[in-house]
Amino acid sequence: MKTEMLRPLSSDEIDAAPAPLPLLRWRRVVAVALLGLGVGLTACEPVAGLAVTVAGLSDAEQSAILEVRRQNQLHPFLTCVRRHESDRGAWPHTNGYLAKNPISSASGAYQFLNSTWRNVAPKVGGAEFARAMDAPPHIQDDAALWMINNGYKSAWNGTGCK
């Protein structure tokens, strides 16, 4: 297996990445996809900060969104990163979303530097949040997933997470 070194994203590369679907459309796409897969939506347990209340969506669509958020938050790599970066408490390490590094601009569960956050947050619907710690948990999770899905998992190499 060939290992490739990754480099940090430049602002131009982040800007050139494909834009996400508009949020309402994305939510409907996810909800329909999950319902079509027969995902058991009524049995999902609440997870930290993932509540869904979106005007114009049915209860089933909102449940589908909650299930996607729950799956994202429980992603093994993200859980590992949260444990190392912001929350050394009990699994699934959801107490660090408000964490603030005392000696840098890093904040939130994944300790995004403000400069990185400002570049990545708009890609996942979080442009209105100045710092990661100001964003709800699902936006922080989505930003971290965007980073790993776009080849920037190396931002967390020091955590030892695989």
pLDDT, one tens digit for every residue, the chain (162 residues): 444 444 445 556 555 554 444 444 444 444 444 444 444 333 334 445 555 555 677 777 777 777 777 777 778 888 889 888 887 777 666 778 889 999 999 999 999 999 999 999 999 999 999 999 999 988 999 999 999 999 988 888 888 888
87 and 107 in a common domain: yes
Q: Is 119 within the bounds of a domain?
A: yes
List the domain range (segments joined by +) for residue 41. 21-73
How far are the Cα atoms of 31, 63, 154 from residue 117, in angstroms, in the given order? 27, 28, 16
Domain boundary, last residue among 73, 104, 135: 73
Q: How many helices (DSSP H) and strands (DSSP E) are in the chain?
A: 6, 0
Q: Please give the Cα distance from 159 to 32 (Å, whole number).
A: 36
150 and 103 in a common domain: yes
User: Can you read off the two tokens belonging to residue 64?
Assistant: 């589908």
Q: Residue 73: its pLDDT value, please?
A: 77
141 and 100 in a common domain: yes
How many structural domains are present in the chain? 2
Q: Residue 130: its pLDDT value, please?
A: 96
149 and 116 in a common domain: yes
44 and 88 in a common domain: no
Q: Where are the alpha helices (DSSP H) in 51-122?
A: 59-73, 76-85, 114-120
Q: Residue 142: its pLDDT value, please?
A: 92
Neighbours of 45 (CB within 10 A): 7
Domain boundary, last residue among 56, 73, 90: 73
99 and 158 in a common domain: yes
